[in-house]
Amino acid sequence: MKKTAIIFLVIACCALKTMAQKESKKFSVGFGIEAGIPTSPLSDVYNASIGLTVRFSYHVGPGFVTLTTGGIGYDPKTIPGVKKKVALEIPVRFGYKYIIDKFFVMGELGYASFKTYYGLNGNLASTTSGTGIGAISAGINLNAFEVGLRYGVNFKSSGGGDFGVRVGFNF
């Protein structure tokens, strides 16, 4: 039943004619899945990142002013003698997405709250920190679908961040 519902949803989304991020449309909303591989020094502690984001876009000039937020989880590495620390990043990024035919380039700056969860004496404990973030992206818009490669930088961790991909659907 679940497989049938998912297949029907994919076919319906592909069949709909949308005006996602067209010059005649002033505002659009997009949902996406982001996945990445942390770069050093985050790569010393985490294997990968994956999460869901929502992007609000407003048409200005040849592109869109964007606001992106969501939740991105980090999978911890197993290090002997060190407790695993699962992390959750809540980013808020503002940027500009410049459109060139079907292709785009985008730059973003913002802030992220980074919360780590770990076991401490049989209880769940957590710590929270925040930092400035930045990202550059390049990709392609295929009607309502968007695929982009992104390199993100966490300013607190001496330039560490992640290299990832975002697959999104714009309304």
Beta strand ranges found along 11-158 (DSSP E): 27-38, 46-60, 63-76, 86-100, 103-120, 123-142, 145-154
CATH code for the domain of 116: 2.40.160.20
Q: What gap in Å lies between CA 32 and CA 161, rounded to an integer?
A: 19
Q: Please state the domain count of the chain.
A: 1
Between 137 and 158, where is the model more confident? 137
Evaluate if residue 82 carries a pLDDT over 80: no
Mean pLDDT, rounded, of the chain: 85
Among the residue ranges 55-69, 138-152, 157-171, the one predicted with the least confidence is 157-171
Supply the pTM of this predicted model.
Answer: 0.80
Q: What's the sign of the alpha-carbon dihedral 58, 63, 65, 69?
A: positive
Residue 61 sits in which domain range?
19-170
Q: pLDDT tens-digit profile of 46-80? A: 999 999 999 999 999 999 999 999 999 999 998 88
pLDDT the model gives residue 156: 80
What is the band of 23 on the pLDDT scale with cuts at 50, 70, 90?
low
pLDDT the model gives residue 20: 47
Whether 3 is covered by a domain: the verdict is: no
Whether 4 is covered by a domain: the verdict is: no
Whether 47 is covered by a domain: the verdict is: yes
Evaluate if residue 10 carries a pLDDT over 50: no
pLDDT the model gives residue 18: 42
3-state secondary structure of 99: strand
Evaluate if residue 24 carries a pLDDT over 70: no
